[in-house]
Amino acid sequence: MKESCIISKKHFGIAKIYIFRVSAKINRKINIFAETNIIMPKTIIASLAKEAINKLYGTDIDIKLLAIQPTRPEIEGDFTLVVFPITKISKKNPADTAEDIGKYITDNTDIFSKYEVIKGFLNFTLKTDFWADFINKNAKDTLYGNAKAPTGKKILIEFSSPNTNKPLHLGHVRNNLLGMSVSNILQANGDEVIKVNLVNDRGIHICKSMIAWQKYGNGETPETSGKKGDHLIGDYYVEFNNKYQEEVKDLVSHGMNKEEAEEKAPIIQETHQMLRKWEAGDKDTIELWKMMNSWVYDGFDKTYKRLGITFDKTFYESQTYLLGKQNVYDALDKGIVTKDPDNSIWIDLTDEGLDRKILLRKDGTSVYITQDIGTAITRHEQYSPDRMVYVVGNEQLYHFEVLKLTLKKFGYDWADIIYHLSYGMVELTTGKMKSREGTVVDADDLMDEMHKTAAEMIGELGKVQADSEQADSLAEMVGLAALKYFVLKVDPKKNMLFNPKESIDFNGNTGPFIQYTYARIQSILSKAANDKGFNPSDLSAVPSSFNNFNESELDILKTLHSFPETIAKAAEDFNPAIVANYSYELAKQYNHFYQDINILKEQNPEIRNMRLLLSFFVANTIKHAMSLLGIDVPNRM
């Protein structure tokens, strides 16, 4: 005998190695009790189908072209290989092609009890000892689903990116929750992740709040007003806009056209003058800027902590824009960009299908793209990431195309690692939000409202004593889960309508429903401990000969088995909705299972033990999946 091994193709981001022995006279078998904890039947089917096609039909097919999917619920089987595309190679009808490949695969692995051909579909059924081994090896793994080895990829992901002229609002909530959950999922997939924030702490919008506070604030501070610092500054941003509109209206009433009035309104003229003074390093302007920004940072920190948002590094536009400006001037010297007669500097991207983009204003002050150039260069020099991900709304698609092309023209070939993780707009039933008009839903107010709504619902359902400290803690956990899950269950690319009342329903596709399922399992396990003297850690293994899995148990096991693929797919697509909706399907399946069968009252101790172990496995997986979304689960509800 000689030893050999097959290294499977990367399937949904997970590479597995299966080792077996080969003899010239006997069929080789893949041992289902191999060292690795998770055998991927889809990967085995793909590898052996590729091998069968090569040996039987003399063609080396790309494994990615093989379509393998879970078997439809109404048909017997666990996994289905779609055979129709292979008939072009086999020169046989679908049924005969499926028969050839099915026999080859079952002859060369012992994890399937049988195969069945239905028209152009080849269905495989796993042996029950596969599921016994699967549950035994993974039920108690609190990090089940995570990649077993690092990918070697370093991913830098920027999210939040607030302006220091207003508090975080509902749109920021989606941004932060996406950024944090994607980071968690990438880490679970084996990637090295660097979470960064870019604070837009300078520019004309910041000066607007500063001018308004300087003119109308009368020395008001967070302490004297009793307001969080970010809320206080946000009020002055709204105040600026109100005064600005009044001045524009007055100028128009005196015969000036609106466009000219918007440019010559006294308060906007003062704001541009303040920006020039700031960029020139005027001491008084800098001191005012530092003081007001410090109020905002304190407010941001409180909101981040409550939302569960953390960063590895925070960059500030005020520290990176100069590098961007220097690169622009260097590009001007090289003839890469041009200066207009009014001294503004532009880059021409018309040959790339875009248009001209301003890089520096006529007064020499920076625009957003300037600091993004400096920030990207700084990050690449510090971290050398394989990918640089920006979590930014889809209205900035053009901006990031410009950024990549500009960096490339400036000589930075690594610009292709930039990836814009765009997301759709969050709307309310009352319409769009506008921060300058004061019509936004602040993140803090939203979380307070979710807490209040959760507390009312928990009280109505009689989950805990309404006036207890436990009730308040549970209301916070449930309220945040409702908010986070409702936001994250939607594909990032889609616009969404946030409905607070719908998000907290204990019976729908919601965070509280999944939390309740977890708490229900904990209650079952607790009763087992009290009534049977059982301890989850003492649960015995399911015998390999166990063959009493019913249909609902097998459905749950199949869903549990797909969790590693779910994490890998979510990481590949930068899409937490895949994990969120997986969590809901698992919770829904378990609740059907709970309603249909006995667990604690089951008389057969072997079956009761299996069901408790299965429940423990589901609870662990729900907890882990929800943690990837930044959601906590309670032991009691």
Transcribe 459-478 into DSSP letters.
HHHT-S-TTSHHHHHHHHHH
Q: Determine the pLDDT at residue 556.
A: 96
Question: Do residue 397 and residue 496 come from a single domain?
Answer: no
Query: Could you tell me the pLDDT band of residue 544, with boundaries at 50, 70 and 90?
Result: confident
Residue 63 counted as domain residue = yes
Name residue 457's amino acid.
M
User: Rounded to whole angstroms, how far apart are CA atoms 458 and 465?
Assistant: 9
Question: Do residue 463 and residue 497 come from a single domain?
Answer: yes
- Report whether pLDDT(6) > 70: no
Query: Looking up tokens 């307070």, which residue turns up?
Result: 448
Q: Which of residues 437, 472, 490 is at a domain's end?
A: 437
Q: Determine the pLDDT at residue 22.
A: 28
Residue 136 counted as domain residue = no
Mean pLDDT over each residue of the chain, to the nearest integer: 89
Q: Which candidate, 591, 595, 594, 572, places its Cα nearest to that of 583?
A: 591
Q: Which of residues 110, 126, 142 is at a domain's end?
A: 126
Question: Do residue 290 and residue 333 come from a single domain?
Answer: yes
User: Rounded to whole angstroms, how far apart are CA atoms 604 and 565?
Assistant: 34
Question: Do residue 350 and residue 482 come from a single domain?
Answer: no
Selected residue with higher pLDDT from 7 and 631: 631
Look up residue 275 and give its two tokens. Answer: 């920006």
Query: Could you tell me the pLDDT band of residue 429, with boundaries at 50, 70 and 90?
Result: low
Question: Do residue 485 and residue 591 come from a single domain?
Answer: yes
Question: Do residue 414 and residue 563 come from a single domain?
Answer: no
Q: How many CB atoms lie within 10 A of CB 274?
A: 21
Residue 449 counted as domain residue = no
Given CA atoms 491, 497, 498, 502 in this order, what sign does their dihedral have? negative
**Are the CB atoms for 569 and 578 separated by under 8 Å?**
yes
**Are the CB atoms for 169 and 230 separated by under 8 Å?**
no
User: Rounded to whole angstroms, how far apart are CA atoms 417 and 331?
Assistant: 21
Per the structure, how many domains does the chain have?
Answer: 3
Q: Determine the pLDDT at residue 32.
A: 35
Q: Determine the pLDDT at residue 538.
A: 67
Residue 139 counted as domain residue = no
Q: Determine the pLDDT at residue 457.
A: 84
Q: Which residues pair with 345 in a beta bridge?
A: 339, 360
Residue 165: alpha-carbon gap to chain centroid: 27
Q: Which of residues 126, 148, 167 is at a domain's end?
A: 126
DSSP 508: S
**Are the CB atoms for 199 and 314 separated by under 8 Å?**
yes
Name residue 147's amino acid.
A
Name residue 301's amino acid.
D
Q: How many CB atoms lie within 10 A of CB 356?
A: 13
Query: Residue 11 is part of a domain; what is its CATH number?
Result: 3.30.1360.70
User: Rounded to whole angstroms, how far apart are CA atoms 258 and 267?
Assistant: 15
Residue 143 counted as domain residue = no
Question: Do residue 410 and residue 532 come from a single domain?
Answer: no
Reduce the DSSP state of residue 273 to 3 states and report it.
Answer: helix
Residue 362 counted as domain residue = yes
Residue 245 counted as domain residue = yes
Given CA atoms 93, 99, 105, 108 in this order, what sign does their dihedral have? negative
**Are the CB atoms for 443 and 177 separated by under 8 Å?**
no
DSSP 169: B
Given CA atoms 82, 86, 92, 97 in this order, what sign does their dihedral have? negative
Q: Determine the pLDDT at residue 507.
A: 86
User: Rounded to whole angstroms, how far apart are CA atoms 406 and 348?
Assistant: 9
Q: Between vectors from CA 580 to CA 576 and to CA 581, what angle results, nearest 5°?
A: 120
Provide, rounded to the nearest whole percent, the portion of the chain with pLDDT above 70.
90
CB proximity list for 176: less than 8 A, separation 6 or greater: 159, 160, 168, 304, 307, 309
H or E segment to which residue 194 belongs: strand 192-199
Query: Could you tell me the pLDDT band of residue 430, with boundaries at 50, 70 and 90?
Result: low
- Report whether pLDDT(121) > 50: yes
Query: Could you tell me the pLDDT band of residue 458, with boundaries at 50, 70 and 90?
Result: confident
Query: Could you tell me the pLDDT band of residue 535, with boundaries at 50, 70 and 90?
Result: low
Q: Determine the pLDDT at residue 463.
A: 58
Q: Determine the pLDDT at residue 432.
A: 46
- Report whether pLDDT(384) > 90: yes
Question: Do residue 373 and residue 477 come from a single domain?
Answer: no
CA distances from residue 52 to 24, 76, 104, 106, 107 in whole angstroms, order as listed: 17, 23, 6, 11, 11
Query: Residue 398 is part of a domain; what is its CATH number?
Result: 3.40.50.620
Q: Determine the pLDDT at residue 441.
A: 83
Cα Rg, the chain, nearest whole Å: 30
Name residue 221's amino acid.
T
Q: Determine the pLDDT at residue 539.
A: 73
**Are the CB atoms for 517 and 604 separated by under 8 Å?**
no
How would you class 11 by CB atoms within 10 Å of its CB: exposed for 0-12, middle for 13-18, buried for 19 or more? buried
Question: Do residue 164 and residue 91 come from a single domain?
Answer: no
Residue 383 counted as domain residue = yes
Q: Determine the pLDDT at residue 74.
A: 87
Q: What residue numbers bound the domain in which 561 lies? A: 459-628
Look up residue 122 and give its two tokens. Answer: 């080849």
How would you class 86 by CB atoms within 10 Å of its CB: exposed for 0-12, middle for 13-18, buried for 19 or more? buried
Look up residue 397 and give its two tokens. Answer: 């698609």
User: Rounded to whole angstroms, how far apart are CA atoms 442 and 234?
Assistant: 10
Q: What is the dihedral of CA 588, 591, 593, 598, to 10 degrees?
A: 170
**Are the CB atoms for 312 and 379 separated by under 8 Å?**
no
pLDDT digits (tens, 9 = 90+) for 557-608: 999 999 999 999 999 999 999 999 999 999 999 999 999 999 999 999 899 9
Look up residue 492 and give its two tokens. Answer: 């990032």
**Are the CB atoms for 589 and 550 separated by under 8 Å?**
no
Q: Determine the pLDDT at residue 464.
A: 56
- Report whether pLDDT(1) > 60: no
Question: Do residue 187 and residue 120 come from a single domain?
Answer: no
Q: Which residues pair with 390 in a beta bridge?
A: 158, 420
Question: Do residue 488 and residue 382 come from a single domain?
Answer: no
- Expressed in percent and rounded to 5, the helix, strand and coil fractions of the chain are 55, 15, 30
Question: Do residue 223 and residue 92 come from a single domain?
Answer: no
pLDDT digits (tens, 9 = 90+) for 245-267: 999 999 999 999 999 999 999 99
DSSP 545: T
